Homo-oligomer: A and B are copies of this chain.
Amino acid sequence: MKIVFVGAGRLATNLAPALYKAGHEIIQVYSCTLESANKLAILVGAQPIADIEQIVSKADVYIIALKDSVLEEVIPALCAERKNSVFLHTSGSVPISIFENVAINYGVFYPLQTFSKDRTVDFSNIPIFIEASNDGTIDLARRLAGNISNNVNELSSDNRRYIHLSAVFVNNFVNHCYTIAADILTQQGLSFEHLIPLIDETTSKVHDMTPQAAQTGPAIRYDENVINKHLAMLKDTPLLKQLYENMSCSIHQFAQSTKQN
């Protein structure tokens, strides 16, 4: 297929090369700065553009990989001149209805992964959640997704936003726990490296058991002795102290409700 990428951020920088390697032709990469359009375009043999007016109309599909906050503005402008084209956005939290009244053949192509510009991820096991306005478009989205992933699922916008919310917990918040730990250790002159085997085992466990069954630590029984010592250690960082308290309360609450069931 002939594909135009609208966006050259972290997701586009991973997705465009994956589709390119799967045999698709990336004809243009749009970004609001020519520099970032160029960085991605060069990887996939595409024309870099920074003016939305220059986007061609001959593509089989337009993949919109921009931050959520600009979609409301960009989508109508992009779709207006190309009523019969196929448009797919890639956002976890924006419903398919954003295309209503501005396009006919549209949908969502949401790969559930955390992307960085300088890391290559293997798409083959990344779940891709698709949704579309009609059968032709869902078929197109399924073929495109199936070319790079073995894990393609049709999913409604309403379900997708829960996938996205849960992803914020297991990625954004988990990674922030790593950041806090790194910060605590750095302040004591200790290395974050010490935590890597623990981090790995924590992840490894939930391959084999439910996270609820894997839970350990003082908060399960709300062991005040340990918890109060930790809270005292966090007294100079009130937000972290509150975070620690909330986490501990929540762990305790989940443990209690599991016990009752």
Which positions in A face B, CB cutoff 8 Å?
10, 67-69, 93, 112-116, 119, 121, 125-127, 151, 153, 159, 161-163, 165-185, 187-188, 190, 192, 194-203, 205-212, 214-219, 223, 225-226, 229-230, 233-234, 239-240, 242-244, 246-247, 249-251, 253-254
Contact = CB atoms under 8 A, between A and B. Distances in A.
The 6 closest A-B pairs by CB, nearest first: A172-B217, A178-B211, A166-B181, A179-B211, A203-B203, A169-B181
Contacts of A201: 113-114, 121
A214 B175 contact: yes
B161 A185 contact: no
Nearest to A240: B250
B223 A68 contact: yes
The A contact surface, by secondary structure, is helix
Given A167-B198, A170-B199, A205-B116, A162 B179 contact: no
A202 B114 contact: yes
Given A172-B215, A215-B172, A247 B243 contact: yes
A219 to B, nearest CB: 6
